[in-house]
Amino acid sequence: MLRCTFWLAVSLTATAFAADLPIREVILYKHGVGYFERAGELKAGETARIDFKAADMNDVLKSLTITDRNGGKIGSVRYDASEPLQKRLEDFPFAVGNESSLAVFLDQMKGSRLELKMGTDTISGTIVSARMIRATDRAEKETVMLLNDAGEMRAFDLAVASSVKLSDPKLQALLKDYLGVLSQSRSKDRRGVTIESAGSAVRQLIASYMTPAAVWKSSYRLIFGAQDEPTLEGWAIIDNTTGDDWDNVRLSVVSGKPISFITRLYEPRYVQRPEAELAENRAEAPRLFGGAVGALRAEPAPPAALAMRKAEQNVAQDRLGGRETLPSSIASTAEGRDAGELFEYSFAGPVTVKKGESAMLPFVQQKVNTRKLLIYSENFGLHPMDAAEITNSTGKTLDGGPITVYDANTYAGEALVETLKAGDKRLISYGVDLGTRVTTAWDSAREVVREIHLRRGVLTTRAAVEEVKTYTMKNVDAKAKTVIIEHTQRAGFKLLNQKPSETTANAYRFEVKLGPSASEAFGVHEERVVDQTVSISSMTPDLLATFIQNKALSEAGRRQLEQIAQKKREIADNDGALKRTESDLNDLVQDQGRIRSNIQSLNSVSGQQEAVQQYARQLAGVETKLAGLRDSQSLLRRKKGALESELNSLMEKTDF
């Protein structure tokens, strides 16, 4: 009985009453955090405690703000340390185990003053020891041995004492702190932030902070009526995973993605400091000096020490035939406003979402400018997609999300839409139109040279190839349709004499009217321009002639190219003459060698003097011709050099 009474009394003494700061406002964002505001009254001497998940403490310490509506000052803000329980308890001079008795605890207090209330008497003394002893009936009892002021040591049965008190106020405070640490550790995942007020006035506290929160989601219904503009209905889906109830809170959801990150502020951070010491404080070591052997020489210095990281959406094709599809009866009460670069929806009435619960709240229900059409891209295959062009005429930013489309009182399909700013428009596709077929065909024209330029001997031609992609559409339904053709942009190609209805980052969009039970062919004309360069020195006169005759060449350019072509022809003629001369020279040299061989053979035969004379006359004639041909060869070579110099000069000067 005493043991329970002791611990209950100490625990009640160690626990302070804290003011309640319930959640009053919640703002949910799209990037994984939420804004929370708590408010309440803090009386003089009171503290307010807010519990958080341990993983949320970094964000709390980064964003917590505390204000007083009355203009007062806050005394201090304390929070539970992140150290493990065992580490936090190490600094206390005693320990209380799960199965510890009062005697075991008091035995750790040897030398401390203790007060026991025995009936009407109060006994005090210094603790000598405390034990569990076995009585005669084999029952155990707790006793404490005290040294009184008279120097007597006496044992007391703790079961008889009605109260036990440590006389030293410091030990009492330590015990309270110890029990407070144990109390806080009961919730291993919770950490407390304690707010204290300064002065004696009553405080009207507001505490706001950001912590991780489930991302809110958007869900839309697009309902086409018989005649009126379709209605767009938007719902915000929210999840309360914070561990606290949201009772009658002001709730807002924000569209946009501000930058947010985690900075580790909660865990203690230590810096390894270098050791530094004055050289004069170091003791001198003994030195040994060797004997001299020879001449003095310098010893090499020792080396210096080295110094020190899409989800595929399954579209249901269920039909709701036979029922009239009307907007939801729950009217939207959310007010929208721009919040800097973001957009905020604030729900007018208070909202209650218990912890672990989720809710759907309507944030828009308005008529929107929308027209039905078809959209086709070649990767769709044979059929275009049922689509709608939505212009955001709500005056609000529409957050991205799925859209369920109802048409003619039935389910028509589903789509996804990105975040849509006020006044912007977007295409959505929600089904396949089996009543329209589209085929495509390519046609290309031959390459046509558009421009010819020559500068410093380099000829540049700019040629273009025209390509046509023809979309042939057949409407088998007895109603007119509008088809948006999405034609992919290709690198190096540009449109010819056509203007798309709009252009995306990678496609042109063309709008084509398709009559009832009719066919229509629509061609997209593009051209590809290619630049080619070639050195004019490597071109033959015949090849140059093809460029001279090209209509894309200017008159000045034609005259300059003709001069170059003429000079190339002169060089070619000179090269031909030089080649013939060199051939003749080779033939005569061979004849000369043959004649000399004959003369040499005949000189060794008697009676061949006349034949030798004849060969000698032939040899003289050959040598005369050789001399003339060598002179011609030299002249042709000099002429070739002059012509090439003139050609180079022409090419250097040519510019068109």
For 468-486, write each residue's pLDDT tens digit. Answer: 999 999 999 999 999 999 9
CB-CB neighbours of 35 under 10 Å: 17
CA distances from 416 to 411, 429, 505 (A): 16, 8, 19
**Residue 289's pLDDT band (cuts 50, 70, 90):** very low
User: What pLDDT sits at residue 577?
Assistant: 87
On the question of pLDDT at 458 being above 90, the answer is no
Take residue 242 and report the two structure tokens written for it.
Answer: 């914070």
Contact yes or no for 343/255 (Cβ under 8 A) = yes
Helices (H) and strands (E) in the chain, counts: 8, 33
On the question of pLDDT at 586 being above 70, the answer is yes
Q: Tell me what the mean pLDDT of segment 288-301 comes to.
A: 44
**Whose CA is closest to 96, among 185, 159, 13, 18?**
185
As a residue count, the chain comes to 656
User: What pLDDT sits at residue 306?
Assistant: 34
In angstroms, rounded to a whole number, what is the distance separating the alpha carbons of residues 98 and 95? 10
Lowest-pLDDT range, 518-522, 527-531, 603-607?
603-607
CA triplet 313, 314, 318: central angle to 5 degrees? Answer: 135
**Whose CA is closest to 320, among 387, 220, 413?**
413
Burial state string for 275-300 with b = 16 or more CB within 10 A and e = fewer than 16: eeeeeeeeeeeeeeeeeeeeeeeeee
Report the DSSP pairing between strands 23-28 and 33-42. antiparallel
DSSP 370-386: EEEEEEE-GGG-SSPEE
On the question of pLDDT at 284 being above 80, the answer is no
In angstroms, rounded to a whole number, what is the distance separating the alpha carbons of residues 122 and 164? 10
Contact yes or no for 543/549 (Cβ under 8 A) = no
Q: Tell me what the mean pLDDT of segment 549-562 comes to.
A: 78
Residue % of the chain over a pLDDT of 70? 84
Burial state string for 216-249 with b = 16 or more CB within 10 A and e = fewer than 16: bbbebbbbbbeeeebbbbbbbbbbbebebbbeeb
| CA Rg value for the chain | 51
Q: Is the dihedral of CA 626, 628, 630, 636 positive or negative?
A: negative
On the question of pLDDT at 127 being above 80, the answer is yes
Residue 211 or residue 290, greater confidence: 211
Q: Tell me what the mean pLDDT of segment 497-505 comes to.
A: 89
Residue 97 or residue 523, greater confidence: 523
Take residue 469 and report the two structure tokens written for it.
Answer: 């992609």
Average pLDDT of the chain, as a whole number: 80
CA triplet 619, 621, 627: central angle to 5 degrees? Answer: 105
User: What pLDDT sits at residue 301?
Assistant: 42
**Residue 360's pLDDT band (cuts 50, 70, 90):** very high
Lowest-pLDDT range, 323-332, 629-638, 643-652?
323-332
Which residue blocks in 21-69 are alpha helix, DSSP H? 57-63
Q: Which residues does residue 508 pair with via DSSP β-bridges, in sequence order?
A: 487, 503
Take residue 81 and report the two structure tokens written for it.
Answer: 């340390």
DSSP 483-536: EEEEEEP-TTEEESS---SEE-SSEEEEEEEE-TT-EEEEEEEEEEEEEEEEEG
Is this structure's pTM higher than 0.75? Answer: no
Task: Tell me the one-letter amino acid at 163.
Answer: S
Of these ranges, 14-18, 535-539, 584-588, the one predicted with the greatest mean pLDDT is: 584-588
In angstroms, rounded to a whole number, what is the distance separating the alpha carbons of residues 514 and 428? 20
Contact yes or no for 21/46 (Cβ under 8 A) = no
**Residue 408's pLDDT band (cuts 50, 70, 90):** confident
Take residue 51 and report the two structure tokens written for it.
Answer: 């519990």
